[in-house]
Structure 1
């Protein structure tokens, strides 16, 4: 080794090796001059492997240099020099050696010729671990060869092409921008030329929050049994699993065992202390998720008897038959024993005990009077109840009504049966279990308490009548040859009693509309008193309006298709599911060339302002059948049959479906009222376009949505995230809380005026925007009128919001639905018509307005400010349902709104109606069978007994139809008509929604002729029959109406988005059809100074000042919550409007007069005090003289 320049101490590299490019066969030299004491020894590393020196090709020289002779391709790579002595080790830089073959040679003709060379990598890609949302990741792939190889990249066998997401540089480097979850995987680089091809691969590993692939199931085990839970999660880095019981971490011991990776928890010899909620937590460096399961102990299947209903005191006539009720539950099933006056019953041959335990006594005699005691007994205990029977002589035996004695018994049974089914449904929905999408779907649409009581009343009434018929059939002494007639069996007094007991009378109470100071200016929240002659028209919790009579199979309540033997126009009703798969569902999607996806979203938002048919209050039949587990027709269960050979569903016979609730006075309950009325469904909402989806449909809900902690007149708001604006408040502590799915996120559901607000994230965005718009209006109105109280600010802002929605609907949205001709038929607004009923028709809610389902895309786009997908990516529709957490954790509402007004809606074509996300994947994660929206639409119209397609054609004065060829003008596609004939047999059998959807769209519209007719009828009623319609001259002042007409949805989005700066002028039209996007500053604004309340006695010409301007100093505190700088308050001049209801000159004069009287009293008091002081002063002076 080299011995010069020796320096005492550990080695030090004095001369570093350098990179070298060497032709194949030439000699390479790498320098390494090292000093140290003792003199260090030199070794070399090639690609992290020590170089084995041989005398032929490789040698380490005395000065430490490495010499490589006759270089080969395998010699390429990194070389590092190590200098080592007793004092330590020194390491040189890494020098790279590249060995290449000469590209050219000089041939015998002295011509330079380029030599061919196979591709080879000089830098291969390396695997990378990164995080979701990373701006970009680069994979390097550099190759050489003769000719120069062409670099291509692929992932999972799919060639990657340059795009906004992928970029491939000229040197072969792959750049991936805005890393998303689906960028995870193996990427392969191929270098290819005419002489060969080589490949190299690298992985992109994306760190991800844990996701559960196996959820633990709740278990019930007896004492001493074994309980097992399993929980599996995936994520990057790999998550750690921890189990908790009552928030305490579980550690393995002799009785509680965890396997090595904690995926399985086993509890041996279960005891009472083990009954608890067990939580499995998956945690890694990016976060954690939790799922839970409950362990319930079965106490050896033993349960003491509990009385469902028991005896009560009753009076009966001699010779009659009575039934004394007694029914008990327990495990094992308890036996029923009867005693009279403390003794066993005497064997008279005139009594018997039913299977349920009720005691029947026939041909009642005087000796039967006494106290009857019912005892329910099983191995675990007993329970006893009694009632006294009084026997009376019949003063007029011919006048006895045999049905009267059964009323109370039948009512108690009905109440118990209905309440039991309701309570079990509520228990299933509101238990602490983890809810899937289907549970959330049912929960989110489940009626609130007032609506539930209304529906329950009708169910109890109807069930009571059924039970009376059953009891009479069992116990009566004669047989009827004619049809069963309740009026012959029950007295009017007892029919009235049933109505009172069930609650069927409460909904018929009319609202007092005499407060004209309020009703002349503002709407009632529940829609009552809009029409002062018919106060209930359009009110919430009232029945739908019928255009045509319903076609219930029994005349008043049984749905269409309930009896499969009944035929329509000679043919049975086809399965709703079969119709969906045959003519409705489509895999192919064509984008609309004119309208945006916002047309669909506004349609849904509007629909949730107009109608919501209350679902059944129970998902069980009154006989205890679970509608989700049975395919039997047992009210309210009305399942959708699965036809043989279904393309998706093979292992089930049906899709679960529950009937809509009915209103009292319809169906069977109508026997109480003047005449038999067919069953009618309940509209939970007000019928008017009044922003009820923002403010609610009842006084209680409206108050719950308001911020009543101050006098600002605003709606409640939730949290503010990432510098944005407030979100909706969470629905915590609400009776109808939409429980979040803890396996996805702990973010709760939002609270809004409509219970379906959380149905999908686009809808949440719309609710959020309009909540913010109300608060923006209330804030500015308060600045203009600081003397207004909170209620007045709230009502004025609410009135403006409702008017804005009407203007947007009729002037901006409806033309794209009805087309130009349809708008002409609708006509211009002329005047309010108090004789026109505005209530929503059943066919409008059940069929016509559901045309919007044909516009839904299978993906919700989420775009950033550059209108590119956000890092979280676009959202498949089935992932958008019931996911409020995505608003909080995945970018807020702006990306969704941009996606709605920048992306085309789906185009409806004859063979492209509903995308399969809606017919094949709806809530498939939680249902035994995924739902089918098209089949549900068809089945719902049958549940509501809506007449068929051609019946409504007659209503709309369309041509008569006798054959399927007669439909060729409206349904031009021959293949569609052929399929309809195969399904229905006759045009008269076609369901109205199916026929309406399959019609060709009218010019410029998105519906066919039938739906256009039905929509025009309803929207004319909603306009002309609404006393508060915004164009009615009595609703707004002319100058205010001018400002209302400035409203556009684009302006609302600009004002209330988190940071929307660019937008299309009309968000319903594709941007490219209107010159692209413009700055929000270019969108017209509404000037609210027209709502400024004026001082009519102002004396300064050119400016009318409100009384609030008279003392600016005292108003400063009013602006504490307003984002105006204190010294730069906006000035509103020329305030010309007067509101005499709240500010009148007479009131001002009265106040001044009272103030003057107070001043006079104060002056008189001061004079008296002065006189008293003078007297005291004189007295003091007199005393000093003495």
Structure 2
């Protein structure tokens, strides 16, 4: 850097000027946060929630995430204010950060609270259980894979200004010689499918789709910016990009264009402190590891709040108002005003509370949350019978360890081979042990790529009785009427009918002319009369918001060809009509938004994703396994006898052990028809817990026992 520029810059920026900018930034951010909170509260009190409020509820930063996000907002706002000040002093084309010296950057980091967010922590010498946050999984770099850190970047971020402005934010700007199309236009022309017009997957059940979302919520959550729904921002009425609003414009010929200035609201993902380069990075609010954080939480305060506080026996808290024909249900959030109440005011049922905020997003997801909550509590009571001398903490940790193993096994042994098929071993070779040099952090691109599952969602939710027949009037509900509607579980027959529906229903098959059903493309979170959102448009806008490079950059990253013209692209897609549509919209394959380009590719042989997704998903899952010090197969994590027992479990086992369901297919991921593919639950292997019996004599003196357990 030119030193005169730096001196000159520092001259422009006195220390007092710097500190006053930081203080002004803090005030602006705090006010915006306060407005956003008040506005959501007011909406709930007036019982008017728009689709954005539902989305906001599911992705609202909480606990430590909130402080991390707020510090990043202080930092970003400080830089904006400095830029304005320096522009007034006549320095036009520049990057603020070039005008700051090291000391000034340190002051900003300290005063915004960013240095606290990125501090390193000292890990204990001996640990036998994972932390809730994922910290210290990697002893060399304690933060790798932990919650409330930036997503990993596999390719440098692509922002319009090189720092934080999403591509497509300024009208008329050209990329590779072409403007970026409106994401809603791409969605209308390429993604949209009528609800009636879907093809069923002939091999895979709806459990396959739901498991994908379950695992996804275990490893990533990009919460919304904390200033998200501040009414002062006018995200719905003003169509200009004004961070954190990045509204989705309607093309003039849009069937849903109500007024000419109307936009679909879109709030940017929250960012995380990045005082080294100041480039905008999104925060992952959950731990990257497959560690059942959906069940247990990703920060200590949450983990504590969902445990049973009264008897300290290691159990998870359960619902105190209702049961599911005698079986446990998830507890409610203790909010007097809960957004879920608005989906059916007469019954007044709030949202469920779990380790993950998104638990009530849809009924299938709530059902899986419920099953694993019950599995934890079932394991606790079984282990307590085997080891009466174990205390509540030991029972909690040992049960949690088994639940994590179950989820890892089902994901890698049953789910991923169906997804990646012949490419599984190419991306995820056999396990050869833990490698502390592998970074398990979920990558930013993966957080978008794994949304491929949206194209296998069906437009209706079906619920079946114990003879697997439609459950009366409850059996066929349009998807959009099930978002954030836990009352349907409590009032309409519990989780068993939902699980039976998932097991018997086919997943939707992704076809190039049938990407996203109308329910998701026009009615997302449309519980009330307000216009619903468009999930395809949200996914593409989110990719731009996250600074993800275009389609060909990712093809190059994966060692795949990078089509340059319509002929080459027709070959990649195996579909010249579709290639032509893409080229008309984007001008060049280089500009295609990752999500739409990746889901449009034909499947790898026998798989359910194309080559680009197979590469991104396969690479990520390999890192999640090889960089996890507590991976279930790692020698020393379980005894050989325990491993033998764990290998027998299946998702069918978990369903049988934790519901009233009596008959089940052996492989619930495959399509099964009732009754021919079903067996009695007692014919399914269960988890034999005898290898967990503590052989150490329970009359052993306490000191020796403690010494042993700490070793």
Distance across 1 between alignment mates of 2:674 and 2:565: 41
1:497 is aligned to 107
Distance across 1 between alignment mates of 2:529 and 2:108: 38
Whether 1:589 and 2:198 are equivalent positions in the alignment is yes
2:134 is aligned to 527
1:817 is aligned to 419
- Displacement, 1:559? 0.5
Count of residues in correspondence between the two structures: 694
The 3-state SS of whatever aligns with 1:1033 is coil
Distance across 2 between alignment mates of 1:482 and 1:442: 36
2:335–2:350 CA contact under 8 A, matched in 1: no
Whether 1:1107 and 2:695 are equivalent positions in the alignment is no
Distance across 1 between alignment mates of 2:95 and 2:279: 17
Distance across 1 between alignment mates of 2:359 and 2:709: 46
Aligned positions of 1:27-176 closer than 5 A: none
2:184 is aligned to 577
Change (3 A) 1:969 1:1042: farther
Distance across 1 between alignment mates of 2:710 and 2:24: 64
1:751 is aligned to 353
Cα deviation digits, residues 807-857 of structure 1 (max 9, x gap): 0000011111111333454221111111110100111002x2111011100
1:460–1:502 CA contact under 8 A, matched in 2: yes
Distance across 2 between alignment mates of 1:916 and 1:398: 54
Distance across 2 between alignment mates of 1:545 and 1:883: 34
Cα deviation digits, residues 19-49 of structure 1 (max 9, x gap): xxxxxxxxxxxxxxxxxxxxxxxxxxxxxxx
Whether 1:464 and 2:71 are equivalent positions in the alignment is no
Distance across 2 between alignment mates of 1:844 and 1:1072: 34
Distance across 1 between alignment mates of 2:529 and 2:273: 32
Distance across 2 between alignment mates of 1:481 and 1:556: 16
Cα deviation digits, residues 442-474 of structure 1 (max 9, x gap): 122211132122111111122122223333544
- Displacement, 1:430? 2.4
Cα deviation digits, residues 360-401 of structure 1 (max 9, x gap): xxxxxxxxxxxxxxxxxxxxxxxxxxxxxxxxxxxxx99966
Change (3 A) 1:1012 1:744: farther
2:415–2:669 CA contact under 8 A, matched in 1: yes
1:506 is aligned to 116
Change (3 A) 1:999 1:840: same
Whether 1:658 and 2:260 are equivalent positions in the alignment is no
Q: More displaced, 869-878 or 858-867?
A: 869-878
Change (3 A) 1:926 1:423: farther
- Displacement, 1:962? 1.5
1:319 is aligned to none
The 3-state SS of whatever aligns with 2:203 is strand
Distance across 2 between alignment mates of 1:398 and 1:1067: 64
The 3-state SS of whatever aligns with 2:204 is strand
The 3-state SS of whatever aligns with 1:814 is helix
Distance across 1 between alignment mates of 2:95 and 2:25: 19
1:406–1:471 CA contact under 8 A, matched in 2: no
Distance across 1 between alignment mates of 2:545 and 2:10: 41
Q: Over aligned residues, Cα RMSD in angstroms?
A: 2.5
Whether 1:1051 and 2:653 are equivalent positions in the alignment is yes
Aligned positions of 1:931-950 closer than 5 A: 931-950=533-552
- Displacement, 1:708? 2.6
Aligned positions of 1:552-563 closer than 5 A: 552-563=159-170
Cα deviation digits, residues 125-177 of structure 1 (max 9, x gap): xxxxxxxxxxxxxxxxxxxxxxxxxxxxxxxxxxxxxxxxxxxxxxxxxxxxx
Whether 1:839 and 2:436 are equivalent positions in the alignment is no
Distance across 2 between alignment mates of 1:1141 and 1:909: 59
1:594–1:1073 CA contact under 8 A, matched in 2: no
Instruction: State the TM-score, normalizing by the size of structure 2.
Output: 0.93
Whether 1:427 and 2:38 are equivalent positions in the alignment is yes
Q: Which residue, 126, 147, 150 being the options, matches 1:543?
A: 150
Cα deviation digits, residues 1144-1182 of structure 1 (max 9, x gap): 6999xxxxxxxxxxxxxxxxxxxxxxxxxxxxxxxxxxx
2:252 is aligned to 644
Change (3 A) 1:509 1:925: same
The 3-state SS of whatever aligns with 2:233 is coil
1:859 is aligned to 460
Change (3 A) 1:481 1:861: closer
Aligned positions of 1:192-203 closer than 5 A: none
The 3-state SS of whatever aligns with 1:682 is strand
Quick check: which one's strand share is greater?
Answer: 1
- Displacement, 1:620? 5.3
Distance across 2 between alignment mates of 1:682 and 1:513: 23
Q: Which residue, 586, 594, 599 being the options, matches 1:992?
A: 594
Distance across 2 between alignment mates of 1:399 and 1:596: 63
Aligned positions of 1:10-29 closer than 5 A: none
Change (3 A) 1:533 1:1074: farther
The 3-state SS of whatever aligns with 2:161 is coil
Change (3 A) 1:836 1:737: farther
Quick check: which one's helix share is greater?
Answer: 2
Cα deviation digits, residues 876-924 of structure 1 (max 9, x gap): 1011101011111000000000000111000111101111100011233
Distance across 1 between alignment mates of 2:193 and 2:598: 17
2:443–2:620 CA contact under 8 A, matched in 1: yes
- Displacement, 1:413? 2.1
Distance across 1 between alignment mates of 2:11 and 2:549: 43
1:873 is aligned to 475
Change (3 A) 1:437 1:714: farther
- Displacement, 1:636? 0.9
- Displacement, 1:657? 0.5
Whether 1:628 and 2:227 are equivalent positions in the alignment is no
The 3-state SS of whatever aligns with 1:1071 is coil
2:483–2:527 CA contact under 8 A, matched in 1: no
Distance across 2 between alignment mates of 1:946 and 1:1145: 46
The 3-state SS of whatever aligns with 2:418 is helix
Distance across 1 between alignment mates of 2:542 and 2:581: 22
Cα deviation digits, residues 687-733 of structure 1 (max 9, x gap): 00000000000011000011132231110011443633010011115
Change (3 A) 1:407 1:469: same
Q: More displaced, 906-915 or 498-507?
A: 498-507
- Displacement, 1:545? 0.5
Q: Which runs of 5+ in 2 are unaligned?
A: 1-7
- Displacement, 1:775? 0.4
Q: Which has the larger radius of gyration?
A: 1
Change (3 A) 1:447 1:813: same
Aligned positions of 1:882-961 closer than 5 A: 882-926=484-528, 929-961=531-563
2:340–2:485 CA contact under 8 A, matched in 1: no
Cα deviation digits, residues 1060-1094 of structure 1 (max 9, x gap): 00111111011149951111001101110100001
2:14 is aligned to 403
Q: More displaced, 749-758 or 814-823?
A: 814-823
2:461–2:475 CA contact under 8 A, matched in 1: no
Whether 1:1064 and 2:665 are equivalent positions in the alignment is yes
